[in-house]
Structure 1
């Protein structure tokens, strides 16, 4: 069994498959086990046997006014993973939608006042980020892809801010030694992100009338999130 489990929370199969490939490449793993929470719960796999979890993004939002039972079930399972990591039994990297779930779990507030349209952005490491074993080697900043409608208003209780920028105050934080949450997508290459935005072109992450310009800007971007992601497996068991 692989020691890392990719947890998918995307309903769209093409986007889910591509994200799985992106994480496998970024982590530098030959194989990466996968669980699609829209189709199966944690109880369908021996999830407590894994030492690490990477949680992908989703068109869901923690702040959604109306949620179906599928979304409630997904959020409960993500909270269970976070709880196991907080107990010191594993390491995890929650991205995008996942940072909202963890923020709420910890008693923080998620708001919709700092959205970012689909684009490459530079995030700046804080003092704690510079000293962090996952983020530190990327000092003083890294360029990554982002696209979101909500974010943490501030770091939740018990967490440490690792990265920020002017557009979004909380770009990444750490809880304890091995729970990481990022608002951005470290796994996506320019082609990965362009393909993903084709799936979500009518989902409000950019003006669909500007699709060609948005796609061109994404494909021309240079990002280095893979460097950060490649360091994640070293946290497992550490």
Structure 2
């Protein structure tokens, strides 16, 4: 690997952010020196940022919603969203390798002019069954059906113009899309395992994703789920572009 990956993180809770970063490294097969981490909740994008210096860009998840009204977004959430969106014109125009995880699909779809809202397709915290509906190198060798961890209030409402539909689930049709040849986004969390979701359930139990008193049941459900395939998508992304 001659260039590092730029990893943009959106979670304002240090424990959640650190756990996610470690998971992206571990599941992607990266070492810390193969990644440039930027926590957008507490630091700005570098003034001299040059996307050509990176093998690709990976955007993590977060508690914010692209579809929230501006007055409902905290200053931190608004700043994070603006930073991510500021990169999308160059990423899509130059077809720079990009993997947007959960929040990232909203950012990509919003940039492309598609509707992102809470009207339909939200999924409760837990495992959902995904189905392959398109061909792509990142899906080579994967089963046609597999489970992935999700938990989202908003979703893409229609396929953005110019994108390829790659994965669907029953509750949410747009689980993975591709724009151009190298710009990807998933609604599910490709880096997540049961341990990681337990951490997030505990941290976000009061953020409206589920009734707080059900947290222990959700943790037990996640631990009983067989979620091992999605990380292969992240690893394939790193292998292809690193």
Equivalent residue for 2:209, pick from 177, 181, 205: 205
How far apart, CA to CA, are the structure 2 residues paired with 1:3 and 1:28?
A: 12
What is the DSSP-based 3-state SS (H/G/I as helix, E as strand, rest coil) of the residue aligned with 2:121? coil
**Map of 1:95 onto structure 2:** 101
**Map of 2:218 onto structure 1:** 214
Equivalent residue for 2:182, pick from 163, 178, 181: 178
**Maintained 8 Å contact 1:123/1:143:** yes
How far apart, CA to CA, are the structure 2 residues paired with 1:45 and 1:37?
A: 16
**Maintained 8 Å contact 1:174/1:181:** yes
Q: Which runs of 5+ in 2 are unaligned?
A: none
Q: Which runs of 5+ in 1 are unaligned?
A: none
How far apart, CA to CA, are the structure 2 residues paired with 1:105 and 1:33?
A: 24
**Map of 1:85 onto structure 2:** 91
Larger deviation, residues 60-69 vs 102-111: 60-69
How far apart, CA to CA, are the structure 2 residues paired with 1:44 and 1:200?
A: 32
How far did 1:147 drift? 0.3
**Maintained 8 Å contact 1:82/1:92:** no
How far apart, CA to CA, are the structure 2 residues paired with 1:94 and 1:42?
A: 17
Match status 1:148 vs 2:149 = no
What is the DSSP-based 3-state SS (H/G/I as helix, E as strand, rest coil) of the residue aligned with 1:209? helix
**Maintained 8 Å contact 1:50/1:90:** no
What is the DSSP-based 3-state SS (H/G/I as helix, E as strand, rest coil) of the residue aligned with 1:195? helix
Match status 1:14 vs 2:15 = yes
**Map of 1:42 onto structure 2:** 45
How far did 1:51 drift? 2.1
Match status 1:195 vs 2:199 = yes
Task: Give the RMSD, CA atoms, in angstroms.
Answer: 1.7
Superposed counterparts of 1:59-70, under 5 Å: 59-65=63-69, 66-70=72-76
**Map of 2:125 onto structure 1:** 118
**Maintained 8 Å contact 1:178/1:235:** no
Q: How many residues align?
A: 234
Normalised to the residue count of structure 1, the TM-score between the two structures is: 0.92
How far did 1:186 drift? 0.6
How far apart, CA to CA, are the structure 2 residues paired with 1:2 and 1:118?
A: 35
Normalised to the residue count of structure 2, the TM-score between the two structures is: 0.91
Equivalent residue for 2:138, pick from 116, 122, 134: 134
**Maintained 8 Å contact 2:205/2:215:** yes
